Amino acid sequence: MSDQPATAQTIDGALQDGSLPPMNRIRLRAQLGMVEDITASNIRLATALLLQRVQDYYTVVQYTGPAYVYGRVDSEFPSALYAKPKHSYMNDTWFQQEMSPTHPTCTVERLFSEAGWLCLDTACRLAVAELAREVPEARAVLDQGRYAIKGMCQQRELTELNWKDSRRRLGTPGIRKMLKRFSSKLRFVRIGKGKGILPIILPHERITTSHIYRDITDWSYEDQPVAHAC
Split at pLDDT 50, 70, 90, the class of 95 is low
Mean pLDDT of 157-170: 92
pLDDT of residue 229: 39
**What whole-number distance in Å separates Cα of residue 189 and Cα of residue 151?**
11
Strands 62-63 and 115-118, how do they pair?
A: parallel
Split at pLDDT 50, 70, 90, the class of 81 is very high
Split at pLDDT 50, 70, 90, the class of 48 is very high
CA atoms within 13 A on the CB side of 110: 12
pLDDT of residue 94: 64
Split at pLDDT 50, 70, 90, the class of 92 is low
Residue 177's contacts (CB-CB under 8 Å, 6 or more residues apart) are: none
Q: Read off φ and ψ for residue 214, nearest 5 degrees.
A: -70, -20
